[in-house]
């Protein structure tokens, strides 16, 4: 596995990119990444003697695209499958089913060897800057790792340039990670990801371990780099304020599924899915004055046995029996560049909890208890 | 902040030093505050600002052989710092209870949740096992654990993160404490669960008429729950006042910096304004005002003289900053305009 690019366990690979890449972008130039019906199940052993085998439905039928040069934010609570989706995108995990297209090319079935030349095009920044840097290597070795692996010459000068790019002192080339603070370490992680001029960088909670003043430094840095190097980000975070600051488009995930996706403005100003609304209303704000809050009851159900149909239905304030627990809602367009997987999307925002409960479909359920492919015009 | 008969805690000049082989870590320096019944005091600051250590000192949870503690912690008029360990044991866990950040680490994995809460009951009260168990079930039910009677027989791994934190709160409430210290109670939880737990703490506070100290790095959590706020930096209080004033009219450049570096969920900001540099080492804190090396408004006295924590004007709350009041008002106002733009 080429999971750790700085691990040095990689065989050297010729530097030239795969020839297929140059003529593969026809038709879908706009999208750098396309995921289609991506599904990932993990087998888990159950019971003391591991007789029964169960499946964790980590990612279930996820379809989304990442456009060139944009930042796609993925938000959701722990266990919603956001990290798994990201790792599948980079083929750090193998999908159970579905297609991953990177730069117009289907990479879901490529072998690790075939993937290797592509690795320089897609990089990752990890959450924990204390765990993602090898403590026995100098900063120069860490950032220079990708060059060594891919056989690029002149690494030392490039590394010093990179250190400068991310706002570190180039003379700190020979220092070890423990000599740096959390924010500086995260900059090292950023420099390593930038080393091979990738097209895509997946940032998995890159600022969650940092204090707020340092977090702002790293977020600003990521934005500047995106502009300067025309990067495409997939940015994962549980922090909705951070996502709002950095993302152009947002996918909201719940229990392995994308429940809502759309332009950042649209999602934050006009959330359609009750879960998105609950998430937004649950975020504590650093302004005084009370707001109405939708408090979800209970916890996220187990992904081993997800609820039937709409996975959100046991916690949903708009739950309609006989519909939400029977028929799985598909992602449908609701306005431009905004899609939601809900039978009873919100009509407007903000809404009080009482209003949310009285979904416009309430009478509808009463009228037609069996709702078949009910039309919901929004 | 309210009449003295409702006052529970009066901390004066609390200072904590840890001698290490590298030198003395000045974790907490000259911290003074009060806490009354019905009050939630939010303590905010970045990592290493001394917010947790000051609470551990109040709880008497620091090893007195390793930590040099001075000052006074008056709990209903009695100084906790000079109390014998035995006397302190009667107060800790009974009259002052604590909820920690990580509910995964705080519950013993091999004992049933109910057993652990019942143990907290018997620690301070001589009651039979059955009575203690009944109390545990009652408390679990009280903090919103569904089917408390059967869930009390569960082991911690059968609880979700939010339920474990509820169990920890139940355990803290066993003896109807006067003060509940919550150290980052929701940091390990998801935001929807966090909302539930914050609501629970608020309910508990109102119902039992207790004082709550809420330690967190999350300014949003403080803004929504606290009545008064203490902003800490490098072991010192930078600003201390009513929550609405701290968030509406912050006075200290560090508080401005913290608020301006926060991304907003309301709108996408053109750029975040980070605080340059990183927090100082507590082995050798900066001279004068500890924030001066990172402060964009520093001037001559800042590196030389330590600003005292005083209210700069009658209609202001205490802050520790040399800037003249007029200048602060001006800077604060321009900051507000930039923020609204």
pLDDT digits (tens, 9 = 90+) for B130-188: 999 999 999 999 888 888 999 999 999 888 888 899 999 999 999 889 999 999 888 87
Interface test with B, best of A206, A213, A353 (most B CBs within 10 A): A213
Tokens 């800790």 found at? B92
What local confidence, expressed as pLDDT, does residue A44 receive?
81
**3-state SS record for B89-156:** HHHECCCEEEECCCHHHHCCCCCCHHHHHHHHHHHHCCCCHHHHHHHHHHHHHHCCCCCHHHHCCCCH
Tokens 């407007």 found at? A348
Mean pLDDT for the stretch of residues A241-267 = 93
Whether B275 sits inside 8 A of A296 (CB atoms) is no
pLDDT digits (tens, 9 = 90+) for A94-112: 999 999 999 888 998 889 8
Minimum distance, in Å, between the CA of residue A184 and any CA atom of chain B = 9
The angle at the Cα of A277, spanning A273 to A281, to the nearest 5 degrees, equals 170
Quick one: tokens of A59?
């990612």
Of the candidate ranges A1-15, B266-280, B293-307, the one whose mean pLDDT is the lowest:
A1-15
Give CA–CA dist A58/A35, Å, rounded: 15
What local confidence, expressed as pLDDT, does residue A272 receive?
92
> Taking chain A, what is the end-to-end CA distance rounded to the nearest angstrom?
47
Of the candidate ranges A85-94, A131-140, B269-278, the one whose mean pLDDT is the lowest:
B269-278
Whether B217 sits inside 8 A of A280 (CB atoms) is no
What local confidence, expressed as pLDDT, does residue A22 receive?
36
Chain A residue numbers touching B278 (CB-CB < 8 A): 181, 183-184, 214
Which strand (E) or helix (H) includes residue A114?
helix A112-119
Query: Dihedral through CA B78, CA B80, CA B81, CA B85, nearest 10?
Result: 120
Cα distances (Å, whole numbers) of residue B86 to A210, B90, B116: 40, 7, 22
Tokens 């690979």 found at? A13
A255 — pLDDT class (breaks 50, 70, 90)? very high
What local confidence, expressed as pLDDT, does residue A26 receive?
44
Mean pLDDT for the stretch of residues B198-204 = 91
pLDDT at A14 over 70: no
Among A220, A284, A285, whose Cβ lies nearest the Cβ of B274? A220
pLDDT digits (tens, 9 = 90+) for A202-236: 999 888 888 888 889 889 999 999 999 999 999 99
What local confidence, expressed as pLDDT, does residue B303 receive?
94
Interface check A80 vs B, CB under 8 A? no
What local confidence, expressed as pLDDT, does residue A70 receive?
93
Of the candidate ranges A6-15, B222-231, B278-287, the one whose mean pLDDT is the lowest:
A6-15
The complex's ipTM?
0.82
pLDDT at B59 over 50: yes
Write out the DSSP string of A186-205: HHHHHHHHHTT--SEEEEES
Of the candidate ranges A30-44, A192-206, A345-359, B212-226, the one whose mean pLDDT is the lowest:
A345-359
Interface of A with B in 122-181 (CB under 8 A): 181
pLDDT at B261 over 50: yes
Segments making up each domain of chain A, as ranges: 269-367
pLDDT at A376 over 50: no
Query: Dihedral through CA A192, CA A194, CA A200, CA A203, nearest 10?
Result: 50
In our burial notation (b when 16+ CB lie closer than 10 A, e otherwise), range A178-203 reads eebebbbbbbbbbbbbbbbebbbbbb
pLDDT at B9 over 90: yes
Cα distances (Å, whole numbers) of residue B35 to A61, A132, A192, A264, B79: 52, 42, 48, 42, 15
Residue of A nearest to B162 (CA): A299
Give CA–CA dist A188/A139, Å, rounded: 7
A199 — pLDDT class (breaks 50, 70, 90)? very high
Give CA–CA dist B7/A361, Å, rounded: 52
**Domains recognised in chain B with CATH numbers:** 1-86+177-341 (3.40.50.300)
Whether A295 sits inside 8 A of B195 (CB atoms) is yes
Minimum distance, in Å, between the CA of residue B92 and any CA atom of chain A = 30
Whether A286 sits inside 8 A of B219 (CB atoms) is yes
pLDDT at A149 over 70: yes
Considering chain A, what is the average pLDDT of its residues?
82
pLDDT at B2 over 50: no
């Amino acid at each position: 596995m080429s999971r750790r690019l700085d691990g040095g366990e990689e065989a050297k690979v010729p530097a030239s990119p795969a020839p297929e890449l140059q003529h593969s972008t026809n038709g879908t130039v706009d999208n750098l990444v396309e995921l289609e019906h991506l599904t990932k199940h993990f087998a888990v052993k159950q019971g003391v003697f591991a007789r029964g085998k169960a499946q964790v439905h980590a990612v279930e039928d996820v379809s989304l695209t990442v456009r060139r040069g944009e930042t796609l934010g993925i938000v959701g609570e722990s266990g919603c499958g956001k990290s798994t989706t990201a790792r599948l995108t980079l083929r750090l995990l193998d999908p159970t089913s579905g297609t991953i297209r990177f730069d117009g090319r289907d990479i879901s079935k490529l072998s690790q060897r075939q993937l290797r030349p592509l690795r320089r095009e897609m990089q990752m920044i990890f959450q924990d800057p204390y765990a993602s840097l090898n403590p026995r290597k100098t900063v120069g070795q860490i950032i220079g790792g990708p060059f060594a692996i891919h056989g690029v010459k002149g690494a030392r000068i490039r590394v010093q340039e990179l250190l400068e790019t991310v706002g570190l002192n180039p003379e700190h080339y020979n220092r070890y990670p423990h000599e740096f603070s959390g924010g500086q370490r995260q900059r090292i992680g950023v420099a390593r990801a930038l080393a091979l001029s990738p097209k895509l960088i997946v940032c998995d909670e890159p600022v969650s371990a940092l204090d707020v003043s340092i977090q702002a430094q790293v977020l600003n840095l990521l934005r500047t780099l995106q502009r300067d190097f025309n990067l495409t980000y997939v940015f994962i975070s549980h922090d909705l304020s951070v996502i709002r600051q950095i993302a152009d488009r947002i996918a909201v995930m719940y229990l392995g599924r994308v429940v809502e996706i759309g332009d950042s403005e649209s999602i934050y100003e006009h959330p359609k899915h009750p879960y998105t609304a609950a998430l937004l209303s649950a975020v504590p704000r650093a302004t005084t004055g009370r707001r109405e809050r939708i408090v979800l009851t209970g916890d996220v159900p187990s992904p081993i046995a997800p609820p039937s149909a709409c996975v959100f239905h046991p916690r949903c304030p708009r739950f309609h029996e006989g519909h939400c627990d029977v028929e799985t809602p598909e992602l449908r367009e609701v306005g431009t560049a905004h899609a939601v997987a809900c039978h009873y999307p919100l009509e407007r925002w903000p809404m009080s909890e009482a209003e949310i409960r009285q979904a416009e479909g309430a009478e509808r359920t009463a009228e037609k208890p069996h709702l078949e492919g009910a039309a919901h015009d929004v | 902040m309210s009449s003295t008969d409702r006052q529970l805690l009066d901390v004066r000049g609390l200072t904590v030093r840890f001698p290490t082989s590298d030198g003395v870590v000045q974790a907490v320096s000259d911290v003074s505050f009060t806490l009354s019944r019905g009050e939630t005091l939010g303590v905010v600051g970045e990592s290493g600002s001394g917010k947790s250590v000051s609470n551990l000192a109040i709880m008497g949870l620091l090893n007195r052989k390793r930590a040099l503690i001075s000052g006074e912690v008056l709990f209903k008029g009695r100084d906790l710092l000079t109390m014998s360990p035995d006397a302190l044991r009667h107060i800790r866990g009974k009259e002052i209870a604590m909820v920690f950040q990580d509910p995964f680490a705080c519950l013993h994995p091999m004992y049933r949740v109910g057993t652990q809460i019942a143990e907290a009951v018997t620690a301070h009260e001589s009651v039979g096992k059955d009575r203690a168990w009944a109390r545990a079930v009652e408390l679990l039910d009280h903090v919103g654990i569904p089917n408390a009677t059967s869930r009390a027989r569960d082991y911690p791994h059968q609880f979700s993160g939010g339920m474990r934190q509820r169990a920890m709160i139940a355990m803290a409430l066993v003896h109807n404490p006067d003060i509940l210290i919550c150290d980052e109670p929701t940091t390990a939880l998801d935001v929807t669960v966090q909302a539930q737990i914050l609501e629970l703490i608020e309910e508990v506070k109102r119902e039992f008429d207790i004082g709550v100290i809420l330690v967190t790095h999350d300014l949003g959590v403080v803004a929504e729950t606290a009545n008064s706020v203490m902003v800490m930096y490098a072991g010192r209080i930078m600003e201390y006042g009513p929550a609405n004033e701290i968030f509406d009219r912050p006075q200290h450049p560090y508080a401005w910096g913290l608020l301006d570096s926060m991304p907003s969920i309301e709108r996408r900001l053109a750029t975040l304004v980070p605080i340059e540099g990183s927090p100082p080492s507590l082995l050798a804190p900066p001279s004068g005002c500890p924030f001066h090396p990172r402060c964009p408004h520093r001037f001559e006295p800042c590196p030389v003289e330590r600003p005292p924590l005083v209210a700069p004007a009658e209609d202001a709350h205490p802050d520790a900053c040399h800037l003249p009041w007029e200048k602060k008002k001006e800077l604060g106002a321009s900051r507000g305009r930039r923020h609204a733009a």
